[in-house]
Amino acid sequence: MLITIPDVLNVGEVAQARAKLDAAEWVDGKVTAGYQAQRVKENHQLPEGHPAAVELGEMVLGALARSPLFMSAALPLRVFPPMFNRYTGGGHFGTHVDTAIRAMATTGQRIRTDVSATLFLSAPEEYDGGELLVEDTYGSHSVKLPAGHMVLYPATSLHRVEPVTRGARVASFFWVQSMIRSDGDRTLLFDLDTAIQRLAVEVPGNAAGVQLTGVYHNLLRRWAEM
């Protein structure tokens, strides 16, 4: 399931993030790439543990906690601390699959990367190229969102970032270990949750809504890994 989540960060939060990121010292993005990804990765990022990355990561985590759409789509168990990258001057990231298990630099705790996330911090008109292309059974999907918007997609997907030929593409990226390992099961639960919420608005108090809510939670109880 590929889903976009608008306005994760508001205009003021995006401006605050950009001010800190534009003043930061970036390092070669290969430092966190796996063996396969190192050969196709040309970008810069903030080192894990950098003060700006820690501060802005807390901002992003707080915003995620306030997003019902993120909670419904990702069903998060753990979220990898948000990281930040920058593509300029032809920078790109060739086709790859994200590493399955990642260890947090601060604690060493490992998480399984079920869901990948990109939170855009540059407006589309600030740069040319830089589209995120995600492949699935229905083809290749191009994503280039307004600043403050985020996309979620299965970490199992082949994906790439097209070369940035003008300006700078700045973003936050991270991974989620979901309570629901299977993307197909997450999609089913998300669709059911969406239908329940729509029913509550269109036919408030309908008994079917209570019954469907019970089905949702019983499926979640059956499939969830804690």
For residue range 145-185, what is the model confidence (pLDDT) as tens digits? 999 999 999 999 999 999 999 999 999 999 999 999 999 99
Cα dist. 160→38, 92, 129, 133, 139 in Å? Answer: 13, 8, 12, 5, 13
- Cβ atoms of residues 179 and 226 within 8 Å: yes
Q: Which residues contact 33 (CB under 8 A, 6 or more apart)?
A: 41
Q: Which residue type occupies 101?
A: I
Q: What is the mean pLDDT of residues 107-122?
A: 96
Confidence check: pLDDT of 39 > 80: no
Strand-strand pairing, 159-161 and 150-154:
unpaired
The number of angstroms, rounded, from the C-alpha of 93 to the middle of its chain's C-alpha atoms is 16
Q: Which residues contact 34 (CB under 8 A, 6 or more apart)?
A: 99
Confidence check: pLDDT of 11 > 70: yes
Residues across the chain: 226
Domain locations along the chain:
3-178, 183-223
Angle at 4 between CA 175 and CA 185, to 5 degrees: 65
Closest CA to 91 of 161, 33, 171: 161
Higher pLDDT, 141 or 137: 141
- Give tens-digit pLDDT for 204-214: 989 999 999 99
Q: Which residue type occupies 223?
A: W
Q: How confident is the model at residue 35 (pLDDT cuts 50, 70, 90)?
A: low
- What pTM was computed for the model? 0.94
Computed on alpha carbons and rounded to an integer, the radius of gyration of the chain in Å comes to 18
Class of domain 3-178: mainly beta
- Residue 11, helix vs strand vs coil: helix
CATH number of 183-223: 4.10.860
Bridge partners (DSSP) listed for residue 129: 164
Residue 179 tokens read as 């309570």
End-to-end Cα separation, the chain, in angstroms:
22
